[in-house]
Every structure is written in C-alpha cells, then in structure tokens.
Amino acid sequence: MAATRTGILGGRFDPIHVGHLDTAEIAHQRLSLETVLVVPSRTAPHRATPAQASDADRLAMVTLATAQHAYLEPCDLELTAEGPSYTAITLSRLHELGHPPTTLFFVLGTDTFEEITTWYDYPRVLNAAHFVVVARPGYPVMPVVERLPDLQARMQVVSEHGACVVPPTPTVFLLEAVTTDISSTRIRAEASRGKSLTGYVPTPVASYIERHRLYVRTPVGVPLA
C-alpha cells in the first residue's frame, strides 16, 4: 500500500481566507494529496507584530473554513508548542508522529518561498519534506528558479495536466496557478470598517468574525456591547 501523502499548509491565518484555500486545493489536486493539515502558527518568527486574533479564534476560524472539505484537517501542532513556530521543528514533530519526510508536502506561496534562505535550519529544512510552491498573484513561479539558483537541481515544475511523478528524495515542486488576490491584511482592514467579507473568506468564517467582533476598532474607554 502506498504511503499517505500529507500536505501541510501553515500560516497565521489572521484570518484564513479563500486565497489560502485556493492554494491548498491546487496542491491537493496536482500532487494527489490525501490530506492537507492547516496549521496556524503560534508565534511567527518573521513577523514583527503578533496576530490580532487570539490563538483560539484563529484555530476556530481554520476549523470552520476546513469543515466543508474532506481532505482538509485543522491542526494545532504549532499552537500547542512552546517558542516560535519554526517549520523545521514542526516537520521534525511530524516525523516523530510517524510521517517520513518523503510523504510530507509543505505547501506555501512563491512570495514566502523566496525567503527560504533566511529560514531557521536552512538548508537542512529542505530535506525534511517535499516543498510545494504555488504561484501567488504577482508572484509567478518561474522567477523563483532564477532567484534561487542553488536550488535549481531539486526543482520540478508540475503542469496542470498529467500525472506528477514524485521522486524518492525531497523535491521542490513549482505549481503555476491562479489564486484569489486577497490578503489577511486587507480583510482585517475591511472588517475594521464594518465592510462585507463576502468572497474573501468562507461564509462561516465571515459570520464568526462578525459575531465575535474580531478586528473591530473599539475607541478607548468604550466597552464592547
């Protein structure tokens, strides 16, 4: 029996939005991933400011966003760990839980992958899993090849059509694709002004944000209702 292919989609998810879900769906389809774990970070080492929503709220939104997709699974692995949320440590914990490196597929956008050389435990982290780099609006995948010449030998372009052969060693897969042009920063700004989040986040997530008044700017001295 073939080993289960498990994707990992990490991020602050403050809040999770349809762009994140687009990325997970593309990786799931093109690399035949049985499961994609959606992992909110506890403390992102590359972010100067903490998340605006609490850990509990971010995990709750991830749970709501993934509920209608059988292959998506919320995961609190980083939220329950001490210290910064380093990908290398998270992948190591998954190894300890029985996932060999070549069955793990770490999914991320091109804009994030371009910073890979600054990551904790680089370049060894690239041997801890396959890396699945999905194009983001304004960040196509092919320039990544030019910007990271030292990694070209381990890169493989995955076309939209045809089966992808997964090598027996950790590989960097490049997936050109169209994903929704939205960001958590923009969503928080829209929510702070009381604007509709339709089309930006799944409906249950929009309802949760409104019900819990997340991202609403409350004037000093004015209590929440």
Tens digits of per-residue pLDDT, 179-218? 999 999 999 999 999 999 999 999 999 999 999 999 998 6
Give the bridge partners for 85, in sequence order: none
pLDDT band at 165 (very low <50, low <70, confident <90, very high): confident
Output the average pLDDT for the chain.
Answer: 93
Neighbours of 146 (CB within 10 A): 8
Q: CA 203 to CA 205: how far, in whole Å?
A: 5
Cβ distance 209 to 60 under 8 Å?
no
Token pair 């939220």 is found at 79
- Please state which of the ranges 16-25, 47-56, 107-116, 151-160 shows the lowest mean pLDDT: 47-56
| Fold that domain 6-211 belongs to in CATH | Rossmann fold (3.40.50)
Picking from 196, 195, 189, 197, the residue whose alpha carbon sits closest to that of residue 215 is: 189
Written as six digits, the tokens of 10 are 């990490």
Q: What share of the chain is helix, strand, coil (3-state, %, to 5)?
A: 35, 15, 50
pLDDT confidence of residue 160? 85
pLDDT band at 225 (very low <50, low <70, confident <90, very high): very low
pLDDT at 31 exceeding the cut of 80? yes
The alpha carbon of residue 85 and the mean position of all alpha carbons in its chain are separated, in whole angstroms, by 13
pLDDT confidence of residue 156? 96
pLDDT at 221 exceeding the cut of 70? no
Relative orientation angle of helices 203-211 and 55-66, to the nearest 10 degrees:
150
pLDDT at 3 exceeding the cut of 90? no
Domain residue extents for the chain = 6-211
Cβ distance 129 to 99 under 8 Å?
no
